[in-house]
Amino acid sequence: MGDERVDDELGARLKAFEGRPAAVAGVGKDPVNAPMIRHWCEALGDTNPAYTGPDAIAPPTMLQAWTMGGLSGHQGRSGAYDELLGLLDAAGCTAVVATDCEQGYLRPLRPGDEITFDTVIEHVSARKTTRLGTGYFVTTRMDIRADGEPAGVHRLRILKYAPAPRGPRARRPRPVVNRDNAGFWQGVAEHRLLLQRCTGCGTPRHPWLPGCNACGSPDWDTVEASGEGTVHSYVVQHHPPFPAFDPPYAVGLIELAEGVRMVSDVVGVPYDKVRIGLPVRVEFLRCDEELTLPVFRVVDR
């Protein structure tokens, strides 16, 4: 990441912060202590006996927790780091999310250890656009000491970004309803999955069409499908993220028990667990006040 091109003025100003201190001689607000260890273990469901009793150590992954400013804010934070964050805030990059954390543990921390730390701004990325918004990745490296001895290294990468605007959630595309297929959509509105059936030769068909593709007859009636089927094939949509859709998601080609096939969402399992042959059953998804769609839920059979 060190040799990327910075082609915006703000990026160049931010880049100049590399190597400057983010915190100098920071002091942990509390020494390492048993109550905070217990609260952590309770929250995370960690029952490791190494973290309790007279010889308890702190969970090593608590390393950063001992340095946190909490609600009352940071102490020891340098002017440079505040200036960097201020520039980003002023540019609209008001939101922050952590993306990477690398910790190395040099010695165990025990109740009573007094924590001190120094932090340097290690890297500022060029401007990046992510799904959350556009902004800059800032990497800091913190050296943490316990009672003056090196105890660990904590490297954190955050994305400081301008949130992408979120309008009201887009609605799913509307189906094209015409004279040929109106009966199908009428059935869906009533939570019935209707197939056309040729009254000449008895062949069911889908999608709805004016004539039979087996015998050519224009005459037909309808039959309600059982709703049972299997995944005949599928695709997983990753990109691009169309409005109203939240990739990744699976789109199935479902073979109904009656022998016709239908394209729709496969729901009830993660997108990467959809497989050919999975048994499914229709259910009716109310997308909004005007639209209901038949989708297929994976079932045990």
Partner 1 sequence: MRAGERLAPLEIPVTRTLIVAGALASRDYQDVHHDPELARQKGAPDVFMNILTTNGLVGRYVTDHFGPTAVLRGVAVRLGAPNHPGDTMVLTGRVEEVDGDTAVVRVVGANGLGDHVTGTVTVTVPGAGS
* Binding stretches for partner 1 (CB under 8 A): 36, 39-40, 42-46, 48-50, 59-62, 64-65, 68-71, 94-105, 108, 132-133, 156, 163-164, 166, 248, 270
In the complex, the smallest distance separating the C-beta of residue 294 from partner 1, rounded to whole angstroms, is: 22
DSSP secondary structure of 119-143:
EEEEEEPPPEE-SSEEEEEEEEEEE
Cis peptide before 241 (omega within 30 of 0): no
C-beta closer to partner 1: residue 100 or 288: 100
* Cα dihedral 204, 208, 211, 216 sign: negative
Q: Would you say 103 or 222 has its CB closer to partner 1?
A: 103
**C-beta of 98 vs 215, nearer to partner 1:** 98
**Between residues 53 and 210, which has the closer beta carbon with respect to partner 1?**
53
CB of 217 to partner 1, least distance (A): 46
CA distance 197 to 183: 12
Burial class (CB in 10 A: 0-12, 13-18, 19+), 24: middle
Distance of closest approach, residue 214 Cβ to partner 1, in angstroms: 42
Beta-carbon count within 10 A of 254 CB: 25
- Share of the chain residues as helix, strand and coil, in percent rounded to the nearest 5: 20, 40, 45
245 vs 258: CA distance, rounded Å: 30
For residues 144 and 103, is the Cβ–Cβ distance under 8 A?
Answer: no
Please state the closest distance from residue 293 (CB atom) to partner 1, in A.
Answer: 20
Nearer to partner 1, 42 or 224 (CB): 42
Q: Rounded to an integer, what distance in angstroms lies between the CA atom of residue 108 and that of residue 147?
A: 12
79 Cβ contact list (under 8 Å, min separation 6): none
Cβ at position 95, least distance to partner 1 in Å: 4
| Minimum gap (Å) between residue 162 Cβ and partner 1 | 9
Closer residue to partner 1 (CB): 70 or 240: 70
Which residue's CB is nearer to partner 1, number 26 or number 204? 26
Which pairing describes strands 194-198 and 149-163: parallel, antiparallel, or unpaired?
unpaired
CB of 200 to partner 1, least distance (A): 47
